Chains A and B, each alone.
Chain A
Amino acid sequence: MFLQTLITGLSIGGIYALMAVGYSLVFSVLNFSNFAHGAVIMLGAYVGLALATKLNFGFGLVLAGSVAGAGIIAVLNEKLAYSSLRRRKAPSLYLMISAMGCAVFLENLVYATIGSRFYAFPEFFGRQVVTMFGSSLSLLDVGAFLFALTAILGLHLFISRTRTGIAIRAGVCDMTMCSLMGVDLNRLISIVFLLAGAFAGVAGVFLGIKYLVYPTMGWVTNKAYIAAVIGGLGSLPGALAGGLILGVVETFVSTYVSSVLRDVFSFSLLIAFLVWRPNGLLGIDSEDKV
């Protein structure tokens, strides 16, 4: 029972981490809370769904298509809704409200055009179950967890090893300085949004397979914000750690305490972290400066 709970928690945590990484990446560069991230995840799931049901693509192609689709949507979102605010150096709260507007817009656009029906992905993995240490695990859970780990590790390598990655890290430190050194900021930020969108696409497909696809599925990203805060906003390893911790803790609370209190507990955790440790477990110090 304990092990079962732990592994269920880890697999949910893996999906939280996928969502939190994209959110955290945008936060680290532009310093605002991108509430439209959930909508991008939802659209990614719809793209994957369309590919899977209309074109009968296999899992790999569906995932690739959804990654590309969500990435493009995220970039467009930035160009249309954030870029002019960013150039004007508007306070981050204006960006947040613009993001909220995008979320409302995209979600209701899907309502109005596709409808509020719940859709299920075709069963890619069947209901295969692996037995390990006397507890049974669904193949999907294990796969989602491993895939999340690999993808985040890949992103980490990209950010720490490549030229573009170095530029992104420089942008996190100081945008103005970074552009003085000859980095094309617009391109850089597009790349950041492309990456965030790609991760949103992966998260969308896994969420869609594990649960269902519907217009408000993006609201789960509330959990991604919490995960990102726990791990430290703007830190990638932090987003991974935060996602896994949140997934495990939530599963334990709903198994051993009460499933009703789960969300109250998560939100309290969010507030506690913001008050006592606003930089999270692995975040860098970011005080308001004079």
Chain B
Amino acid sequence: MDYILSIVVLACINMIAVLGLSIFTGFTGLFSLGHAAFVGVGAYTSAILTYYYSVPFPFALAAGAAAAGVVSLVIGIPTLRAKLRSDYFAIAILGFGEALRVILENLDITNGARGLPGIDSFTTLPVVLICLAGGVLVARNFLRSRWGVACIAIREDPIAAEMAGVRLFRTRLLSLVVSAVYCGLSGGLLAHFLSFIQPVMFTLLQSTQLLAAVIAGGMGSISGPLIASFVFIALPEALRVAQMWRLVAYGLLLVLIMVYRPQGLMGYSELSSLFRRKKAEPVRRQP
């Protein structure tokens, strides 16, 4: 039972990070291969605060999320201002994520590549569920706000959006910071759940997993990525018997999704819309 519980908690923690990336990728249309680094920043900041300075857990979590947001400004301001092509942006943020990991590996306070053991495990299922529910609520309201609508407009057509008066740089930066804050929160919860963190846990592979959940779940959807991330966490656990082969299957799955169902599980729709009466499908330019 404990085992299943811990899988559920892990999946929910992962869902929070995926939710953040979904705002950035699924709704603003920018791809990131470095968001695991923001999870890492959140994890390390909050863990260091509770571990060395015995800061209360909620404040440490908030600090971790805030730190991730601030760090995202460091990469976001120069790259988004330069209006990089979207694939160049993905490579730039990949480089940033890797550089951040190397820095984490070489600081004294993070205990280097050996990792930080013995963090108090404050994260319980209710805490995670509250964070996740709050996260979904905030994301939903954010996407319905002026800013969220501006994000979606940029995804559909940056040039037309700019013509309509959307400020590209500011809106994209806001979306990046919001997504990084989600990732930071997820990192803080992760650190206080596993009670051990290591820089290796926040590499390009993890960034890809986050992005894969967003893509597999479907762009422009909140529920799709959440379902996909749950499956991505739970499925490998169910396949534990086949230890070595699960990552093989995972890689294959990514390729198959891209080849056969690029719109993902719930592309541009929500779970709740399945239960509503069918409205006329809006005409959409297929990518």
A interface residues with partner B (beta carbon < 8 Å): 31-33, 80-81, 84-85, 88, 90-98, 100-109, 111-112, 222, 225-226, 229, 260-261, 263-264, 267-268, 270-271, 274-276, 278, 286, 288, 290
Contact = CB atoms under 8 A, between A and B. Distances in A.
Interface in B28-43: 31, 33
Given A90-B287, A101-B251, 15 more contacts: A85-B258, A88-B262, A93-B31, A94-B287, A96-B31, A100-B33, A101-B212, A104-B205, A104-B247, A107-B251, A108-B247, A229-B91, A263-B99, A268-B99, A278-B82
* Interface residues of chain B: helix, strand, loop or mixed (majority): helix
Residue of B84, B90, B211, B254 most packed against chain A (CB within 10 A)? B254
B208 interface: yes
A104 B248 CA distance: 7
Nearest to A95: B258
A61 to B, nearest CB: 31
Nearest to B286: A88
B99 A274 contact: no
B103 interface: yes
B259 interface: yes
B255 interface: yes
B75 interface: yes
B208 A100 contact: yes
Which 3 interchain pairs have the tightest Cβ spacing?
A105-B251, A101-B254, A104-B251
A104 B254 contact: yes
A192 B114 CA distance: 43
A105 B98 contact: no
B94 to A, nearest CB: 8
A33 B87 contact: yes
Nearest to B216: A97
Nearest to B83: A288
Interface residues of B, number: 42
B258 A101 contact: yes
B259 A84 contact: yes
Contacts of B92: 270-271, 274-275
Interface string B235-262: 0000000001101101111110011001
B88 interface: yes
Interface in B190-245: 205, 208, 211-212, 215, 244-245
A108 B31 CA distance: 25
Contacts of A225: 91
B86 interface: yes
Interface of B: 31, 33, 75, 78-79, 82, 84-92, 95-96, 98-99, 102-103, 106, 159, 205, 208, 211-212, 215, 244-245, 247-248, 250-255, 258-259, 262, 287
Contacts of A111: 244, 247
B87 A97 contact: no
A100 B209 CA distance: 10
Contacts of A271: 75, 78-79, 92, 95-96, 99
A283 to B, nearest CB: 11
A161 B240 CA distance: 54
Given A105-B251, A111-B244, A226-B95, A275 B82 contact: yes
A46 B159 CA distance: 47
B90 A96 contact: yes
A93 to B, nearest CB: 5
23 contacts: A33-B90, A80-B255, A85-B262, A90-B258, A90-B287, A93-B90, A97-B208, A97-B211, A100-B254, A102-B251, A108-B248, A109-B248, A226-B95, A229-B91, A264-B102, A267-B99, A271-B99, A274-B79, A274-B95, A275-B79, A278-B82, A288-B85, A290-B159
Nearest to B243: A112
B74 to A, nearest CB: 10
Contacts of A102: 251, 255
A101 B244 contact: no
Contact of A274 (B91, B253, B258): B91
B78 A97 contact: no
Contacts of B262: 85, 88, 90, 94
B169 to A, nearest CB: 13
A225 B93 CA distance: 13
Contacts of B89: 274
Nearest to A101: B254
Contacts of A90: 258, 262, 287
Contacts of A103: 251
Given A229-B91, A263-B98, A271-B96, A101 B253 contact: yes
